[in-house]
Amino acid sequence: MAFIRVGPDDIDMATEIACLQSEPGEIGGIASFLGVVRGGEGHSAITAMTLEHYPAMTEAAIRRVAEEAEARWNLIGCRVIHRVGRIPVGGRIVLVLTAARHRQAALESTSFLIDWLKVGAPFWKQEHLISGKDHWVEAKSADDLAAQRWLVVAPPD
Amino acid sequence: MAFIRVGPDDIDMATEIACLQSEPGEIGGIASFLGVVRGGEGHSAITAMTLEHYPAMTEAAIRRVAEEAEARWNLIGCRVIHRVGRIPVGGRIVLVLTAARHRQAALESTSFLIDWLKVGAPFWKQEHLISGKDHWVEAKSADDLAAQRWLVVAPPD
Amino acid sequence: MKLLYFAWLRERIGLGEEEVTPPSSVVTVADLIAWLRLRGPGYVEALAETARVRCAVNQDFAKLDTIVRPGDEIAFFPPITGG
Amino acid sequence: MKLLYFAWLRERIGLGEEEVTPPSSVVTVADLIAWLRLRGPGYVEALAETARVRCAVNQDFAKLDTIVRPGDEIAFFPPITGG
């Protein structure tokens, strides 16, 4: 059963892995992706990032896709933790964790989920520049292309 | 600089991630693969696994390939921890951890490194069956094929 | 119907949420956007470029021709930047 | 030269490491295997199927026709099962 959490609390990787390992099943490999706030350089150097989301929609949307991944890759477990609110440079934003019998299922499903989160889950990032200005991050067309690798449909234009 | 450790000590993921994050550079994503001992079922149910290796060769071979991965995917950091000795069911065998500016570099290089470890680093696994018998794990041709995806050459026949 | 605004749309419109009762001539998301633009300069600024605006109707991603009905929850926001 | 045996080759031969001085007719890995098979049933059992035996000369993977020299460290082992 996919576990989803969206909220301001920091991500504790060790705890999440322990929870995943307590799932019944023959786990052979656990893959993960942890996204962190990049500081940027020069004019685009930032001190922190604020993540906004659409609460009524976020968890349900992530759960739907996480369950799709569980079925597609026959996962033993899957955890997606996405933070919202203000996160300083170097801070954790998102953790995707999947467990499977075999490594390829775990690695591919992790890749799939993070590619989807970039374009399919209603989050928006605002960067707080060192200059004091705030700046909403623009969506990247590269992210749409990455999601399309998995035949995931990005939200319609 | 790739960090490699081969030895009997357990793997502490949180510590390894903290070490990786202390590398200078603009880390945006950290990918990982953690391999654990699968219990098996029925006649092939096991209680533990023992990993043997070729000490004079292992670390040097892993370092060479980890540095190749760092260059190929422009990684900010890379840690490969491989345990040897007896490990119980559910225990951690191997951790591959990579950090990059962007998620795809981190995820792909992790996949590459674990695929290579399966066929290119001189480790051998012995399973300890519940029945009391010991059994050397046979190499899988699927692992050779996985390594070939990356144009990695498995040891010659 | 209940309208929600996120990210820079929220900032430009100046509120995150409101109840509206558009006339019966508002049938689709596109109609709703056109009607909202009449409500003031913040709305015009937020909804000027429909290419940069995304919409969800009752928590499902919607298109410009998606039908909107009284009682719906309709959210407007920029392209997603999650993960 | 120094020979190392790993995994089930070590078990069948009954030791993990030994120093040997093969005759000068032993030039390649294949020659060395043929000569080792004369040393007893454990060697025969371990080295019977060369398709299941891998070799490294001075910590580099080697083939049957790789040259071996006095002073080399030569390891025999099954196909790798790491990771």
- pTM here is 0.93
Give the pLDDT of residue B145: 83
Annotate B132-151 with DSSP letters as a single string: S-EEEPPP-HHHHHHHHTTT
Give the pLDDT of residue C15: 97
Is A19 a member of any domain?
Answer: yes
Is B156 a member of any domain?
Answer: no
Give the pLDDT of residue A154: 58
What confidence category does residue D4 fall into, taking pLDDT thresholds of 50, 70 and 90? very high
From the list C59, C61, C81, the residue facing A155 with the nearest CB is C61
CA–CA min distance D62, chain B (Å): 7
Return the residue matching tokens 């490594």: A103
Taking the C-alpha atoms of residue B130 and residue B40, their distance in angstroms, rounded to an integer, is 10
DSSP reduced 3-state for D37: helix
Over range B22-47, report the average pLDDT.
93
Q: The tokens of C29 are what?
A: 């998301």
Residue A111, chain C, CB below 8 Å: the answer is no
Q: Which helix (H) or strand (E) holds D45?
A: helix D41-47
Nearest to D30 by CA among D16, D51, D9: D51
Give the pLDDT of residue B146: 85
Give the pLDDT of residue B143: 87
D26-41 pLDDT, tens digit per residue, is 999 999 999 999 999 9
Give the pLDDT of residue B155: 59
Residue type at position B15: T
Q: Residues of B36-48 as b/e, b for ≥16 C-beta within 10 angstroms?
A: bbbbbeeeeebbb
Taking the C-alpha atoms of residue B117 and residue B61, their distance in angstroms, rounded to an integer, is 10
Provide ipTM, 2 decimals: 0.91
| pLDDT beyond 90 at B24 | no
Q: In which domain, by residue range, is B50 found? A: 3-147
CA–CA min distance A153, chain B (Å): 19
Whether the CA torsion C69, C71, C77, C83 is positive or negative: it is negative
Residue B40, chain A, CB below 8 Å: the answer is yes
Asked if A122 and C6 come within 8 Å (Cβ–Cβ), the reply is yes
Domain count, chain B: 1
Domain definitions of chain D by residue range: 2-69
Asked if A121 and C82 come within 8 Å (Cβ–Cβ), the reply is yes
From the list D10, D59, D81, the residue facing B125 with the nearest CB is D81
The CATH number of whichever domain residue B55 belongs to comes to 3.90.1170.40
What is the DSSP secondary structure assignment for residue A102, as one 8-state letter?
S
Nearest to D74 by CA among B71, D59, D83, D63: D59
Closest-CA residue of B relative to A13 is B14
Is A154 a member of any domain?
Answer: no
Whether C78 contacts C42, CB under 8 Å: no
Taking the C-alpha atoms of residue C42 and residue C22, their distance in angstroms, rounded to an integer, is 18
Residue A28, chain B, CB below 8 Å: the answer is yes
- The rounded average pLDDT for each run of 10 residues, N- to C-terminus, in chain A (157 residues) is 96 93 92 96 93 97 96 97 97 97 96 95 96 93 83 58
- Beta strand B92-100 with B77-83: parallel, antiparallel or unpaired? antiparallel
Whether A111 contacts A34, CB under 8 Å: no
Taking the C-alpha atoms of residue D2 and residue D16, their distance in angstroms, rounded to an integer, is 11
Q: The tokens of A40 are what?
A: 């940027």
Whether B81 contacts B114, CB under 8 Å: no
C19-69 pLDDT, tens digit per residue, is 999 999 999 999 999 999 999 999 999 999 888 999 999 999 999 999 999
| pLDDT beyond 60 at B9 | yes
